[in-house]
């Protein structure tokens, strides 16, 4: 099949949005099938920044149809803001944006529940967008699917049942009850605005794939945030692996023929949780500042924690995702360094026999590389890269036993090289 999954190999924020934007030029459709508006993509086109949270960034290409799959959770207020923002820019969504009725509805009480949890003794460092509680309700069979939501009589009945259960739950946590009537009325209004986009498209895509149409599965977050195999409990609430993207789109795993894993030339994560290669204060002082490196969360605006590349964790991600090639981003952030480090193993040779729950206790074994001390921002072809950039990239390929397909060295579309 003519399909590719684009997945993050670290803790999210790897630059997937730019890669999706680039590859979607060749696609007929792009599918986002897990997570919610906790994800954030920033695309720069002709000097203008576009920020996406749920709508696939391929919506900027007029020929591409965009799909939000049944594995996602949807906040209608946030989605409406995205839609209105795109329409103000003259971007048409008519017959181009389709949302699965199997996706679940995020309601204000989900956000309230997450806020309470995050203010407790053991915060995860979530975006407080209600993503986790919505997935909890989905699994507990007390959630509301979008197909139920846009059928107003059904929504009224389901909301009455679900909100009463949620009220009792929140009251047991010491939270005063919320205004069910006001929420129902507001969300019934949202349903009338958004119902034109909600349609069961799963079989349509299946038939299109059989005809040879090209589709891209757009991953959100990253492998180390996977709900099952990430750095638990400091993870997201959905399956971020390539297999989860197919299932979340209502398709079988054979629907994905190629998987492109996206990684930064260093590591970052937002929120709490283990980070073996995190910079010391001295290393942070000599690295690029958060502003220079553009390391603020698109969704929360929080500073990202930063550190060296971690080969053992990347190998885990490549296995989990079935990665066939790599895209390495933000090489330009390393331009000023005289030397840099890459974690090639953990002390005691613990890779590959380690459990993610032990990641907080491992000690990295580093290999040092010479920097190149030259700007890469005007590079047009591989041969123009400084010698030490090429050595660095070659070593990454060798250490990961996976070919690099794309190299990115700036936020703009044109600052990308395709190597294969």
pLDDT beyond 60 at 53? yes
Strands of 364-370's sheet in order across: 309-310, 339-346, 364-370
> Which domains does the chain possess?
3-101+198-255 (3.40.440.10), 104-195 (1.10.300.10), 262-418 (3.90.170.10)
Annotation marks residue 104 as catalytic: no
> 319 or 302: whose pLDDT is higher?
319
Task: Please confirm, yes or no, whether 321 is among the known catalytic residues.
Answer: no
Average pLDDT, whole number, for the chain? 90
Decide the pairing of beta strands 48-52 and 41-45.
Answer: antiparallel
Read off the tokens for 180: 């069910």
pLDDT at residue number 42:
74
195-233 tens-digit pLDDT: 999 999 999 999 999 999 999 999 999 999 999 999 999
What pLDDT does residue 420 have?
77
Residue (of 42, 39, 66) closest to 53 by Cα position: 39
Contacts of 200 (CB under 8 A, 6+ apart): 100, 101, 102, 147
**Percent above pLDDT 70 for the chain:** 94
- Mean pLDDT, residues 36-62: 82
Q: Which pLDDT score is estimated for 292?
A: 64
What pLDDT is recorded for position 290? 64
14-35: average pLDDT: 93
Segment 155-195, tens digit of pLDDT? 999 999 999 988 888 888 777 778 889 999 999 999 999 99
What pLDDT, on a 0 to 100 scale, did the predictor assign at position 116? 81
Which one of 37, 41, 61, 110 is the catalytic residue? Answer: 41
Q: What is the pLDDT of residue 121?
A: 65
pLDDT band at residue 47 under the 50/70/90 scheme: confident
Query: How many angstroms separate the CA atoms of 245 and 222, rounded?
Result: 12
Picking from 109, 167, 116, 106, the residue whose alpha carbon sits closest to that of residue 138 is: 106
> What tens digit of pLDDT does each residue of 84-141 get?
999 998 998 999 999 999 999 999 999 888 888 777 666 766 778 889 999 999 999 9
């Amino acid at each position: 099949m003519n399909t590719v999954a684009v997945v993050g190999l670290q803790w999210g924020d790897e630059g997937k949005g730019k890669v999706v934007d680039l590859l979607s030029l060749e696609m007929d459709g792009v599918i986002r099938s897990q997570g919610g508006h906790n994800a954030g993509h920033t695309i720069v086109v002709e000097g203008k920044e576009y920020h996406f949270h749920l709508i696939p960034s391929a919506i900027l290409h007029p020929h591409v149809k965009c799909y939000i799959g049944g594995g996602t959770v949807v906040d209608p207020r946030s989605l409406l803001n995205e839609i209105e923002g795109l329409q103000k820019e003259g971007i048409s969504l008519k017959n181009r944006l389709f949302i699965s009725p199997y996706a679940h509805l995020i309601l204000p009480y989900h956000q309230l529940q997450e806020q309470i949890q995050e203010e407790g003794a053991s915060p995860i460092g979530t975006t407080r967008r209600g993503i986790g509680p919505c997935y909890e309700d989905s699994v507990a069979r007390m959630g509301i699917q979008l197909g139920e939501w846009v059928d107003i009589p059904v929504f009224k009945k389901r909301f009455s049942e679900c909100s009463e259960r949620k009220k009792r739950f929140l009251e047991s946590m010491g939270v005063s009850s919320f205004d069910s009537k006001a929420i129902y009325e507001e969300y019934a209004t949202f349903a009338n605005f958004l119902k034109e986009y909600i349609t069961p498209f799963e079989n349509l895509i299946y038939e299109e794939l059989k005809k040879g149409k090209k589709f891209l599965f757009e991953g959100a977050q990253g492998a180390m945030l996977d709900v099952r195999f990430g750095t638990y409990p400091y993870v997201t609430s959905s399956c971020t692996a390539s297999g989860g993207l197919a299932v979340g789109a209502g398709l079988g795993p054979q629907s994905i023929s190629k998987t492109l894993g996206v990684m930064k030339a260093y590591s970052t994560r937002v929120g709490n949780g283990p980070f073996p290669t995190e910079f010391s204060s001295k290393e942070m002082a000599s690295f690029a500042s958060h502003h220079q490196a553009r390391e603020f969360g698109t969704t929360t605006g929080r500073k990202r924690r930063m550190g060296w590349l971690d080969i053992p964790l990347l190998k885990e991600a490549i296995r989990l995702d079935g990665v066939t090639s790599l895209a390495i981003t933000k090489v330009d952030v390393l331009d000023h360094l005289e030397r840099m480090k890459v974690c090639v193993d953990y002390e005691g040779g613990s890779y590959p026999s380690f459990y993610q729950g032990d990641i907080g206790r491992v000690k990295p074994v580093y290999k040092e590389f010479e920097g190149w001390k030259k700007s890469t921002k005007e590079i047009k072809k591989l041969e123009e890269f400084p010698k030490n950039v090429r050595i660095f990239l070659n070593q990454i390929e060798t250490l990961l036993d996976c070919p690099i397909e794309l190299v990115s060295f700036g936020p703009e579309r044109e600052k990308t090289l395709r190597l294969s």
